[in-house]
Amino acid sequence: MQLYDMHSHILPAFDDGAKTVEDSLALIDCLKRQGVRNICLTPHFYTHEMGVEDFLFSRQEAFERFKPYIPDDVNIVLGAEVYVTHYLFNNNDLSGLTYGNSKYILTEFAYSSTFNDRTMQFLDMLMRNHGLIPVIPHVERYEYLIDNPEVIREMQDMGIIIQTNIKNYVSKAPFFKRRKLLKYIANGWIDILGSDAHSFSHNTPEDFSEAMKTIAEKCGEDTLARMMKNSEKIFSRAIFGN
């Protein structure tokens, strides 16, 4: 089974993630040793602080500097974690913000969001006006969604993808939160995994193996395989298009 990390801040010297090339390579090596060789680089894009063109230009410069150092046995997809505000919709073309050549876009909102009419309007605009498929990162940070799983199911029915961070499925994670999230995974309410790795002290990728083991043991090997298959679909489309 191919393993995928669908959310990371490993692109060096760009956001609040890896600071140097050496830091980035150490994080990638950590993932490789756990069998994860398909990695999405999704640096933060705060749409109220920078324009799309400026972000894409700066990100590409950072990626070009990093490319010569990327190991040959690792597959990399470039994306962004897009903090959605109304400023985003001043742009006609958002295709550069997706996972590679795909239509999937990692979309972050205020953690206090109740996914009310305004938030849902933003999601609808991304889908209807731009033809994109939102991916909600670290769903566990949205208290409203965790307390109202029927909203998660409604979003999935719309085609929206739900991502969770691996740190929630290790022994040091809060017990009751972990148990609830495992139930959501078992019920199919969470679609894909990501490390959200910034460093070895902030969302360390060292947790990947333990998280996968916990999910497999508590939810079944088939469930873990389903999540990786979901990731494979996005990753493949990021490389080949559509």
Model pLDDT, residue 27: 98
Check pLDDT > 90 for residue 7: yes
**Distance, CA of 185 to CA of 122 (rounded, Å):** 26
pTM: 0.97
Nearest to 37 by CA among 12, 2, 63: 2
Cβ proximity of 24 and 62 under 8 Å: no
Cβ proximity of 192 and 234 under 8 Å: yes
Hey, is 197 helix, strand or coil?
Answer: strand
Express each pLDDT in 80-116 by its tens digit. 999 999 999 999 999 999 999 999 999 999 999 999 8
Residues 3-240, CATH architecture: Alpha-Beta Barrel (3.20)
What average pLDDT does the chain have?
97
